[in-house]
A = this chain, B = another copy of it.
């Protein structure tokens, strides 16, 4: 622990930051309220918040009619629109880009379809076009973006590539961070999509109250993202959660049980086949129910391995198949009971296919905060990386 000495100026910075924290995420606040929240005296808060106003971090709110006695206080608000973050989901079938302000409020979102067989260059061109459209709609330039995260499939190594494996054709050699760095000066993170979805569930989804979470992505692909002690765990090589690679865990083949179900229309694409089976199972089709049972049996082994390894509080059931949670969750729970020592709570994701981009936003915002903490609080601009 390399605790370093503190002097007055550093103390002032800390107090100014503590006011930023007290301001952010709260309705416009009076000096007295801020003093109460930070433990500082009113005069101190007054001086500091005025410095924040001149720096552009805070703004004075026009007082509306208020029904209190006494002299109405000025109210200050955090200027969440001083900077913005981008969350980018580069999926197999779509590209989704989301823009939020510093408080995480969604400003714009642009979705574009993507060809599953597109090569990396074409895919990145789609991303560029989506970003252009989004920045245009929001009236912004690249310099307004302080941080961004790109979500991709497959484990991401330290260089931001997915060289280990990826279902996207040719993507193993792609370098999305390098590509975007040509236009954006801000730090650019690249992260696995399951991991980002896990982050999103803890931020705005069904796992906001938990610190130890296993996120299960169940769809054509199967994957997992881990949150332990409240923060995303990447593993030393970024491959944490890839339990599906274990032979005893048949995650690669598991969705095959659905596709192989007798009665599936021959013309159905993989996702449609699964939906057909789930619907048939709902209607009581025996063969479909068997297929679902086989699927969940395979799925459960991997989940159980993660649960036993990590002992999470919650398992979040996400991914494309989470729309059919009504038919999957019960058998999955039964299977897990067989395997696990202590069964964590099982919840179904509600974020839909926006979770990856949302998680990207959260990670970018976290990174901005971390840089804010270490940097001095000058005029609002992207704190240097």
A residues contacting B by CB (< 8 A) are 1-8, 11, 14-15, 17-18, 21-22, 38-40, 44, 155, 164-165, 210-212, 226, 228-229, 231, 233-249, 301, 304-306, 308-313, 338-342, 344, 369
Q: By the criterion CB–CB under 8 Å, are B39 and A18 in contact?
A: no
A211 contact set on B, CB distance < 8 A: 236
**A-B contacts besides A242-B311, A243-B305, 17 pairs, CB < 8 Å:** A2-B21, A3-B14, A3-B18, A5-B14, A5-B38, A5-B44, A8-B11, A165-B341, A210-B236, A228-B228, A235-B312, A240-B310, A243-B308, A245-B308, A247-B339, A248-B305, A249-B305
CB-nearest residue of chain B to A210:
B236
A-B contact pairs, 7 of them (CB 8 A): A5-B14, A5-B40, A164-B342, A236-B344, A239-B308, A243-B305, A248-B305
Kindly state the separation between the CA atoms of A192 and B320 in the bound complex, as whole angstroms.
38
Nearest CB of chain B from residue A24's CB, rounded to whole Å: 10
A241 contact set on B, CB distance < 8 A: 309, 311
Q: By the criterion CB–CB under 8 Å, are B164 and A311 in contact?
A: no
Q: By the criterion CB–CB under 8 Å, are A341 and B309 in contact?
A: no
A341 contact set on B, CB distance < 8 A: 155, 164-165, 239, 242, 245
Nearest CB of chain B from residue A339's CB, rounded to whole Å: 6
- Ranked 10 nearest A-B pairs via Cβ: A235-B311, A5-B40, A236-B313, A248-B248, A3-B18, A5-B38, A239-B311, A5-B39, A240-B311, A212-B236
Kindly state the separation between the CA atoms of A1 and B306 in the bound complex, as whole angstroms.
29
Main SS of chain A's interface residues?
loop
Nearest CB of chain B from residue A308's CB, rounded to whole Å: 5
A340 contact set on B, CB distance < 8 A: 245
Choose among B4, B11, B236, B238 the residue that contacts A38 (Cβ–Cβ < 8 A): B4
Nearest CB of chain B from residue A9's CB, rounded to whole Å: 11
Tell me which of A229, A309, A311 has the highest count of chain B C-beta atoms within 10 A of its own C-beta: A309
Nearest CB of chain B from residue A297's CB, rounded to whole Å: 12
A15 contact set on B, CB distance < 8 A: 5-6
Choose among B11, B44, B234, B312 the residue that contacts A236 (Cβ–Cβ < 8 A): B312
Kindly state the separation between the CA atoms of A123 and B222 in the bound complex, as whole angstroms.
48
Tell me which of A11, A15, A231, A310 has the highest count of chain B C-beta atoms within 10 A of its own C-beta: A310
CB-nearest residue of chain B to A309:
B309
Given A236-B212, A236-B344, A341-B239, are A248 and B301 neighbors across the interface (CB < 8 Å)?
A: yes
A231 contact set on B, CB distance < 8 A: 229
CB-nearest residue of chain B to A305:
B305
Q: By the criterion CB–CB under 8 Å, are A246 and B310 in contact?
A: no
Q: By the criterion CB–CB under 8 Å, are A233 and B242 in contact?
A: no
Choose among B39, B165, B235, B308 the residue that contacts A310 (Cβ–Cβ < 8 A): B235
